[in-house]
Structures are given as structure tokens and as C-alpha cells.
Amino acid sequence: MQIESVVIPAMRWVVNRPRVADAMFRLDPWGSPFSDAFVDDPMVLADEIRASGPVTWRRLYQQWFVSGYDEAREMLASPHTGTSNQIRVILGITPYTKLTERSRTFFAHLLLGTDPPQHTRLRSLVNRAFTPRQVARLDDRMQAILDGLLAELDSDRIELMHDLALSFPSSVIAELFGLPETDWPWLRRVSATIAQLTDPIRSFDPAEMDATIADFHERILALAEERRAEPANDLLTGLVSAQADDGDRLSDDELVAMAGIILIAGHETTAGMIGMGLIHLAEHPDQLALLRERPELWPNAVEELLRWDTAVRSVPRAALEDFEFRGHRIKKGQNIVILPQMANRDPRRAVDADTFRVDRDELPPLSFGHGIHYCVGANLARAELNLALPALVEHLGDYRLDRSEVEWSPSIVLRRPERVPITPGTAS
């Protein structure tokens, strides 16, 4: 039995009992990663984490943690690590053990949980479909979708996540994929449920998950059959027709899992960045004023927002073999957690790393990963952020928000606000 089979359920038990969690983490120099303060701002423990070094073994978690920029970049691209073993471990604990075979197969086939040569094969096929041309064809539609959502915003008080941040990227990815507009609300509901699979510390209802995945499976395969009969200029047609030089194609299970990772991960993270973008710009009025004065800085500002706060809180890996890394001996089977936000704000690499500056242009963030698991939808996400954030800032004028009213998702994997109440101001 692997240690994670004990550690993960134990952590879940502790998290659900705040008093026990407080007592357990009180003596740990890093404090509690499940506290409200840490959920609100992962950098609240930056000094403590940095003091442990850019690579450190934490006995409490039975994991290595990587927080340095160079170290994280190297680890993300390391051939000595993988992700599939962690999927197998997670599938061996409750409530994952209660899932149907269809749901378990769906989870196991997600691109983020596969290693070479399977990952190489799947990535090659999806790259044939998810091309820059597919993203570029959406320019006009993205603008139209955004304009429609902006027009519906209340003039007195909005809740950013519900009113726009979740709707915009989910509608864009649905349009790219080829889902009919009547299915866009369905996608948001499905996404909210299936995203729970990514966080083993938080529980979910296996019956609800099975029903949701079964519905998703049937809907995607029905649409795929339609595209085989009548191809269209969309991503689903590309995935259905993607064929390697040797004739290899995606199986039905692989097609559904690929649709899942693109449709669901493709908008959850972007929604989070839209919400966090408005929060951080409000908290740095001098930088917001600079953007209003020099709108040509928006591409830099988007990169700075990605560096400053990441939509992915932690990136897991497992050692495939014993190997040396930056003076440490990492043993086969040990888990490794990369902390992208800590890495992005590594003071050894970024000038004034803990200063938010929209004209910064010296360090590419690791917010979309690095190496073979680099986010397949990074270009689309950047295009959405570069369109949505300037439009929101212009539409909302000198908007106001109270950070104490912001509610955050408790996930240890995905970081995004669940509620961002905003009071619009005078249009700029």
C-alpha cells in the first residue's frame, strides 16, 4: 500500500474538522494550507516557505515541495517524473472507489494524468485539432459573446463570477468546440461537478458524479457521430477526424476525456483569472491608472496578472525512478508538488518579485506549466484575458470592490474566487 492511500484520507478527515486542523498545523512552520487566510492569499506563507529552500521534503505531507522558479521549471520538464501513478493512487481511495467503471475510465484518460508514450500519442492527436487557426477563427465571436454579456450587466451592483467571468470563457470554449448555444448552460453545470474530481482532499457525491459523467459521455459521443456524418469547422470535428500518420485515432473513451479536459479545464482557470484580475487591479489603483493612460501595456499586464496570482495552486508529480535533483536524492514513488505562484514570485529571478507592476517584461510565468504538460489551451486563455479584462475595466469605470466580500473556492488545486461583488463606477 502506498503512503498516499493513508495520507489523503487522513488529510480529508482533518480538513473537515477545523479545530483538529488548527491543532495539527499550529506547530508546523508553514501553518495550515487549509486556513481561510491561506485560501484568500497563498502568499501569506511566502516567507515561511522560502525559508525552507526552493526544494524541500515535508515529512508531515510525505511530499517534496518545489517553490523556486528555476527548480520548478526544471521539475515540470523532468523525464524522471510522471502523473499517471497519482491517478491510480487516487482511484484507490474513497469516494473514487465508488465510481462506476465509466467514470473511473474518464478520470484515468484525462490528458493531465497520462505519461509518455500514451501522453505523447494523445498530445500529438489533439495538437492536430487544436490549432492556432481554430483559435483565430473565434476573434469575432469572442467579441460578440463578450459584448452581449457586458450589455446585460447591472449598472448598480454585479457579481463578477456569475454575471460574466464564468459565462464568457465557457461560452467561448463551447463555441470553439461546436456545442450548440442551447448547451452552454449545461456545460457550466457539468463543469462545476466534474471539476471536483481534481481535488482529492475535497469529497464529492459519487452518484452525482457518475450521473454527470454519463450524461457528458453520451452527449459528446452523440455530437461526435453528427460530426462524422456532417463535418463542421469546429474543434470537435478536428478531434473526431484527427489521425496520426500510422492511422491511429482517438478511441471513444479518449475522445470524451479529451473533450472533458478542453471544455472544463479550458474555462475554469480562465474564469478564475478574470476574477482575480479585477481584484488585483482594484487593489493596485496606480497600476490600473497606468493601464488607462497606456492601454498598449495590456498584454504585459495580463502576463503580470498570470505571474502575480495563478489559477492553478499546485501541480503534482511523482518520481518514476530514483534521481538527483538540485542536491537532493528523490526516491522512486515519492510525490512532488510544484507551487507555481511561489515560483513566479521567486525573488532570485524576478526584480521586485513581490511588487505588482503591469509594465514588467522580464520573466515568463509558469502559470500554464512547462514541458510536455504545458497547457494546450494557453493561447486561447491569453486571447480571452486580453479581450475581457480591458473591456471590463472600461465598462465598469472606477469600480469598487471590498476584498472582505470576496469568497474563494476551497480547492487546493484550482484557485478562483466564487463570488466577487463589484460596484461599477463612472465609465472611463
Highest mean pLDDT among 6-10, 185-189, 202-206, 338-342: 338-342
Q: How many CB atoms lie within 10 A of CB 48?
A: 12
- For residues 93-119, average pLDDT: 93
Percentage of the chain lying above the pLDDT 90 cut: 65
Name the pLDDT band for 5 (thresholds 50, 70, 90). Answer: low
Output the CA torsion sign for 203, 205, 206, 211: negative
Cα gap 130→140, rounded to integer Å: 18
Q: CA nearest 357: which of 423, 301, 277? A: 301
Inform me whether the pLDDT recorded for 99 exceeds 90: yes
* Single-letter residue type at 39: V
For residue 121, the model assigns a pLDDT of 93
Inform me whether the pLDDT recorded for 371 exceeds 90: yes
For residue 120, the model assigns a pLDDT of 93
Q: How many CB atoms lie within 10 A of CB 202?
A: 15
The pLDDT tens digits for 345-365 are: 999 988 899 999 999 877 789
For residue 383, the model assigns a pLDDT of 93
Cα gap 118→87, rounded to integer Å: 14
Name the pLDDT band for 4 (thresholds 50, 70, 90). Answer: low
Inform me whether the pLDDT recorded for 3 exceeds 70: no
Inform me whether the pLDDT recorded for 188 exceeds 80: yes
Whose cell is 493596485? That residue is 284
Answer yes or no: are the C-beta atoms of 95 and 204 closer than 8 Å.
Answer: yes
Which 8-state DSSP code applies to residue 400? B
* Single-letter residue type at 281: L
Inform me whether the pLDDT recorded for 241 exceeds 70: yes
Answer yes or no: are the C-beta atoms of 169 and 383 closer than 8 Å.
Answer: no
Cα gap 189→187, rounded to integer Å: 5
- For residues 1-7, average pLDDT: 63
The pLDDT tens digits for 210-220 are: 999 999 999 99
CA 336, 274, 261 angle in degrees (round to 5)? 50
> What are the sequence ranges of the domains in the chain?
4-422
Q: What is the mean pLDDT of the chain?
A: 91
Q: If DSSP states are collapsed to H, E and C, what string results for 46-91?
A: HHHHHHCCCEEEECCCCEEEECCHHHHHHHHCCCCEECHHHHHHHC
Superfamily of 4-422 according to CATH: Cytochrome P450 (1.10.630.10)
